[in-house]
């Protein structure tokens, strides 16, 4: 299935000051089963891995600009991969994978209720190829930077989010049919909250 879905241009002048987003951020797990718009999904994906104006660098820092992360987008309707260079989604399946993803995350139920989970998968060799063993820690640090952007962006959009590090790697790889070169390392679940 090859369907490229263009995302609306990311908004770079939101109405919530950064300090306020930092001050109000909390892990939120009580999600409403309300879909997000493509604009909201695109904005969250952009905050994590979008390109800057020049098209060379991304919204989150990367050791040596090696960019080991790939971002997968699980919604209540479909499953896609975010394409930073196009600011688009490459739809991989028209299927709601949330229940199986929640099972792979040791039954964390909010993953099934929330309309969106962004999954970071890493190709470690992109970074270890340059930095050797030390590159492994750089990859995890980078995922933290990108995830924090999502948390703050979610707050600025009036949404809530929570980091998810507790999951069975092999089970998540199976649910998302990840290729052998990619390992799931982190997730952020987001949506409207009670
Ligand atoms: C690396 C990492 C992994 C986490 N994994 C999970 C998780 O699997 N499930 C969950 O509900 N919260 C998870 N959290 C969220 C923490 O529980 C939360 O940040 C902590 O309780 C502090 O609350 P706060 O985020 O509201 O400040 C994770 C946080 C981090 C930084």
Query: Residue 93 maps to which CATH number?
Result: 3.40.109.10
What is the pLDDT, as a whole number, of residue 51?
Answer: 97
In a domain, 116, yes or no: yes
Q: Walk along the chain (194 residues) in steps of 10 and give the mean pLDDT of each run.
A: 92 95 98 97 98 95 98 98 98 98 98 98 98 98 98 98 98 98 98 97
In a domain, 142, yes or no: yes
With the most atoms of ligand 1 within 8 angstroms of its CB, the residue from 23, 26, 27 to mutate is: 27
Residue nearest to atom 20 of ligand 1 (CA): 27
Contacts 24+ apart (CB under 8 A), 174-179: 174/104, 175/97, 175/100, 175/101, 175/104, 176/72, 176/74, 176/79, 176/97, 176/101, 176/119, 176/121, 177/92, 178/72, 178/121
Q: Which domain holds residue 186?
A: 17-28+37-191
CA 91 to centroid of ligand 1, rounded, Å: 29
What is the pLDDT, as a whole number, of residue 1?
Answer: 59
Number of domains in the chain: 1
In a domain, 9, yes or no: no
């Amino acid at each position: 299935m090859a369907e490229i879905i263009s995302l609306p241009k990311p908004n770079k002048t939101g109405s919530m000051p950064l300090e306020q987003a930092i001050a109000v951020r909390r892990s939120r797990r009580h999600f409403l089963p309300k879909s997000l718009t493509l604009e909201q999904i695109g904005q969250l994906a952009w905050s994590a891995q979008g390109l800057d104006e020049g098209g060379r660098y991304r919204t989150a820092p990367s050791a040596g600009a090696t960019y080991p992360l790939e971002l997968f987008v699980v919604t209540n309707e479909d499953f896609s991969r975010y394409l930073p260079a196009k600011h688009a989604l490459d739809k991989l399946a028209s299927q709601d994978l949330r229940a199986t993803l929640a099972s792979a995350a040791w039954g964390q139920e909010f993953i099934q209720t929330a309309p969106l989970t962004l999954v970071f998968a890493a190709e470690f060799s992109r970074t270890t190829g340059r930095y050797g063993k030390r590159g492994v820690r750089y990859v995890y640090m980078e995922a933290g930077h990108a995830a924090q952007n999502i948390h703050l962006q979610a707050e600025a959009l009036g949404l809530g989010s929570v980091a998810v590090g507790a999951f069975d790697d092999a089970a998540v790889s199976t649910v998302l049919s990840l290729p052998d070169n990619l390992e799931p390392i982190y997730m952020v679940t987001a949506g409207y909250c009670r």
